[in-house]
Structure 1
Amino acid sequence: MKRRKFIQKGALTGSFLSLGGLGIHAMATTEHNSAFAKADTASHNFNLKYAPHIGMFKNHAGEDPVAQLEFMAAQGFTAFEDNEMRNRPIAQQEAMAKTMAKHGMTMGVFVAHKIYWTEPNLASGKQAWRDEFLADIKSSIDVAKRVKAKWMTVVPGHIDLRQNMAYQTAHVIETLKQASAILEPHGITMVLEPLNFRNHPGLFLSESPQAYQICKAVNSPSCKILFDIYHQQIQEGNLIPNIEKCWDEIAYFQIGDNPGRNEPTSGEINYKNVFKYIHSKGFNGVLGMEHGNSIDGTTGEQRVIDAYKECDQFL
């Protein structure tokens, strides 16, 4: 499950997403309701706020985002994330927010800006790219307030092959300082996500120590780290020690096993131990389930639920 499938299309598919408004909710079929009934609907009391995303349980709940949220809540999930929330119609955002409020679900991240996968937008220091980024941050505040989101994802883009890395870092820090000044009065935090070299070669931000250094330099409660466990297993490994080193700058986690970027227990990461450590630190934030399902269909969706129940048994 490539990262681009989760966040790159947030900048490209706004027109497609506009088709998915409240009308879809009204079209929920008997077949979907029947599939919902076939799930193991016993709600689980999870120890952490694991956050599924739209599409993860569509075979059980149907295509409608609101119906999918209802299904997630019925399984015991207390959080939700949606990279594409910024591009959804306002009416759909409001309906999803209402459903989350009804079930006491915490809204996780959405992508706050256009991500440049091959161009050095923030690293370049060019004013036009900085202005575009800051405008996206400003416009995302309304979305965050509408869906009660406290966090938004930021990816600084590609490296600038024509500049020394120290200059690039200074450019990124300055831009993030300006963005933090915009976000602080609203109590919203942008979370910087390092991405691994294999899936995303050439990006400026790739390692947790680098993100830690940048957040320390920005020195704002509105600029923290999104520690994606899948990416950092590939990029640097040594997961729990690196989480410990970065702890005071981490505001958000994302999950995916390796290899495959699917649910925990499908790969090599000992997620029960990782979750145990995160819980032991008193973490009360969101852990986004930004991964695919290792098995197709309703069987695979139930496997995801069962995997989280299994890994959550760490107390």
Structure 2
Amino acid sequence: MQRRHFMQQSALAGAALITGTAAKSQSVNKTADAPFHLNYGIHDGMFKNSAGNDFIDQMKYAYDLGFRSIEDNGLTSRPENMQQKIGDALAKLGMTMGVFVVDKGGNGANTLTAGKQEYIDIFLKGCRQAVEAAKRVNAKWVTVVPGDFDRHKSLDMQTANVIGALRKGAEILEPAGLIMVLESLSDTPDLFLRDIEQTYMICKAVNSPSCKILYDMYHIQRNRGDIIRQIDDCWSEIAYFQVGDNPGRKEPGTGEMNYKNIFKHIYDKGYKGVMGMEHGISKPGKEGEAALVKAYRDADDFMEG
């Protein structure tokens, strides 16, 4: 499916009167679907069966379906000219850039819990790189995961090390208007940052507008549940949401989570940011992509009357 074409109708009526030939009817204008109530952000590959492998073509296709944002975790690994092309396409379409990941910042190999200067330097280099990439795509948010537990240090010492490193990162990001969003994960028990209250406490301790929460509802459901109450409790520090049903980490409606109620609650609280679609698709091919869109339309249909 190509992006919408705004076909201009030719004024052939006068010519038809002169020549006696009928003017051929023009193609009916194709109009994009209405935007959703919340701002859902697609990932590269979500519409590859319908729009092809080119990410920008997928963005155009998604725009026509009502989506107005993207996420691109691996943005910094793309060539700079491709980053710029994505940014230019976003600007032309009027779409928003969601999160991308700070390169090598706080992964298991250089965890910030250890307090080692070489690990902190890698993280800070990633923050500087993120600032430059963000300029090309007009990004506001970057994902940071502090890394794994350091089993040789107490929990309090690890927490202090993480807070200290994040404060240094915030000093780089804050002048650029970029927000690192900390993500509580459920992938492995080795991860330091797992509980949403823990993430909230660290954001409070860093005390910077450039250090907030990425509220990934799939991970929080696995680790804790009680999604709506946790949103209310941590609201002051939440800057970004991500979506994924549990179990399976697929689109809304494929698991146990009542996303229509969750989306309505977030909407009613006045959230205007991106809702990242960081999950898989439950069915293959074009059929699966159509089911994905329907799932979001169904969950987003929460307005009364």
TM-score, normalised relative to structure 2: 0.88
Shift in Å, 1:66: 1.0
Specify the alignment match of 1:275 in structure 2: 263
Output aligned runs, 1:1-315, within 5 Å. Answer: 43-114=33-104, 117-119=107-109, 121-196=111-186, 199-315=187-303
CA 1:117–1:44 in structure 2 vs 1: closer, same or farther (change >3 Å)?
A: same
Give the superposition deviation at 1:42: 5.1
Q: 1:66 to 1:120 in 2, by over 3 A?
A: closer
Distance 1:272 1:282, change over 3 A: same
3-state SS of paired residue (1:153): strand
CA distance in 1, matches of 2:266, 2:245: 16
Q: Deviations over 1:132-162 (max 9, x none)?
A: 1111111110001110000000000100001
Structure 1 residue identity aligned to 2:45: G
Deviation at 1:64, TM superposition (A): 0.6
User: Which has the larger helix fraction?
Assistant: 1
| Structure 2 counterpart of 1:299, one-letter code | E
Decide whether the 8 Å contact of 2:36 with 2:67 is kept in 1: yes
Structure 1 unaligned blocks of 5 or more: 1-31, 35-39
Structure label with greater radius of gyration: 2
Measure the CA separation in 1 of the matches of 2:53 and 2:148.
34
Contact 2:70 2:98 in 1 (8 A): yes
For residues 21-49 of structure 1, the C-alpha deviation after alignment (integer angstroms, 9 at most, x for no partner) is xxxxxxxxxxx769xxxxx9851320111
The CA distance in 2 between the partners of 1:43 and 1:310, in whole Å, is 14
Letter in 2 for 1:304: L
Structure 1 residues 39-64: Cα deviation after superposition (integer angstroms, max 9, x where no partner): x9851320111001000010000001
Structure 1 vs Structure 2 CA RMSD: 1.6
In structure 2, relative to structure 1, the CA distance for the partners of 1:277 and 1:144 (3 Å cut) is same
Larger relative contact order (Cα-Cα within 8 Å, sequence gap ≥ 6): 1
What SS class does the counterpart of residue 190 from structure 1 fall into?
strand
* AA matched with 1:134: L
CA distance in 1, matches of 2:32, 2:189: 42
Structure 2: gaps (5+ residues) = 4-29
Q: Distance in 1 between matches of 2:284 and 2:106?
A: 31
1-structure distance, mates of 2:301, 2:276: 18
CA distance in 2, matches of 1:107, 1:116: 22
**TM-score, scaled relative to structure 1:** 0.85
Contact 1:119 / 1:159 at 8 angstroms: preserved in 2? no
Using the alignment, how far apart are the partners of 1:272 and 1:208 within structure 2? 22
For residue 248 of structure 2, what is the amino acid of its counterpart? G
1:200 is displaced (CA, Å) by 2.1
Q: 1:115–1:142: structure 2 CA closer, same or farther, 3 Å change rule?
A: closer
CA positional deviation for 1:94? 1.2
Preserved CA contact (<8 Å) 1:227 1:252:
yes
Contact preservation (8 Å) 1:120, 1:160:
no
Whole-angstrom CA distance in 2 between matches of 1:107 and 1:33: 21
| Structure 1 segments (4+ residues) deviating >2 Å | 115-120
1:227·1:253 contact (CA, 8 Å) conserved in 2?
A: yes
Tell me by how many angstroms 1:110 deviates. Answer: 0.3
1:117–1:203 contact (8 Å) kept in structure 2 = no
Report the secondary structure of 2:134's partner residue: helix
Counterpart CA distance in 1 for 2:52 and 2:189 is 35
Q: Which moved more, 1:117-126 or 1:246-255?
A: 117-126
Looking at structure 1, the residues matched to 129 and 32 of structure 2 have their Cα atoms a distance apart, in angstroms, of 39
Aligned amino acid, residue 227 of structure 1: Y
CA drift of 1:90 comes to 1.3
Deviation string, structure 1 residues 75-113 (Cα, Å, up to 9, x no partner) = 110111110111111111111111111111110000012
2:261 partner amino acid: N
